[in-house]
Amino acid sequence: MGPLAALTPLLETRGIGKRFGGLEAVTGVDLRLARGEVRALIGPNGAGKTTLVGLISGRLAPTTGRVLFAGRDVTRLGAADRVRLGIVYTFQITSIYRRLTVADNVAVAVQRRRLRRLADWLAPDARGLAREVEAALGVVGLAGVAAEPAGALPYGHQRLLEIAMALALQPALLILDEPTQGLAAAEIDALCRLVRDVAAGATVLLIEHNMAVVLELAGRITVMDRGRIIAEGPPREIEANPEVQRAYLGQPSATSS
């Protein structure tokens, strides 16, 4: 990695926008994520956060603008190709294979990364796969329930499984969409530790409503309201920003209308 690569942001959106019929969900957003940072994306409900990460992960096609990843224009790539480049998304509403075992859930993710050449597919290394699955489950503390059907796990464990699947892909950019939603206090602490560990090797974009979690994890915060970015900066600055306070109190903000 030369000096130039270090300067290029890992992810950049340029004037990205998405319109659903008459509704403009995201308008002209320029977002830049540096390598290795943990960025929180906050804003009131309906601000366009999930739509924005949908555009980044490729689940949605933008109406305007471009997405660049590691300096490469990925706007026209589908979701699967972006995952292969390292943009990994975890769903806001837990999305796992409920009828498969916990181990099989992770195995689907692990094998995608392991089996790159045709030869790997024809003579798969089952032992190596099983070892990696076990390791991935160990990281999130689910090794003990590997043989259970995923749908039978308690909710908090399903969230952890979802994160284990994401980690198994070894993401360069991990997008977490409200990971602490519905978790108990102890589970939230465990999740925060996990995200800090992940951040040692990857860039993290975190959509989160729990401000304690945001302040603990994020180096910078981006605030969205009505489809636009209204503020960006370190946590202290954002907390003091009057416009952000207005947006959260639900008063009409200066930039809109």
Which among 15, 111, 118 has a CA at the least distance from the CA of 68?
Answer: 15
Look up residue 200 and give its two tokens. 């040692």
Which among 36, 14, 56, 89 has a CA at the least distance from the CA of 218?
Answer: 36
Which span (13-21, 90-98, 188-196, 203-211) binds other proteins, by CB under 8 A?
90-98
Among 72, 76, 99, 193, binds other proteins (CB under 8 A): 99
Rounded to an integer, what distance in angstroms lies between the CA atom of residue 191 and that of residue 184?
10
Which span (22-30, 41-49, 94-102, 233-241) binds other proteins, by CB under 8 A?
94-102
Q: Does 50 bind other proteins (CB under 8 A)?
A: no
> Cβ 229 to other proteins, closest distance in Å?
25
- The residues, ordered by sequence, that sit 6+ positions from 69 with a Cβ below 8 Å of its Cβ are 10, 11, 12, 82, 85, 86, 87, 173
Q: Does 135 bind other proteins (CB under 8 A)?
A: no
Rounded to an integer, what distance in angstroms lies between the CA atom of residue 160 and that of residue 180?
10
Q: Does 69 bind other proteins (CB under 8 A)?
A: no
Residues paired with 90 in a beta bridge: 176
Q: Does 196 bind other proteins (CB under 8 A)?
A: no
Which among 157, 125, 171 has a CA at the least distance from the CA of 11?
Answer: 171
Which is closer to other proteins, CB of 113 or CB of 196? 113
Among 19, 112, 209, 220, binds other proteins (CB under 8 A): 112
Q: How many residues sit close enough to other proteins to count as binding (CB under 8 A)?
A: 29
Q: Contact positions toward other proteins, by CB under 8 A?
A: 57, 59, 78-81, 83-84, 88-89, 91, 95-100, 104, 107-109, 111-113, 115, 121, 124, 165, 169
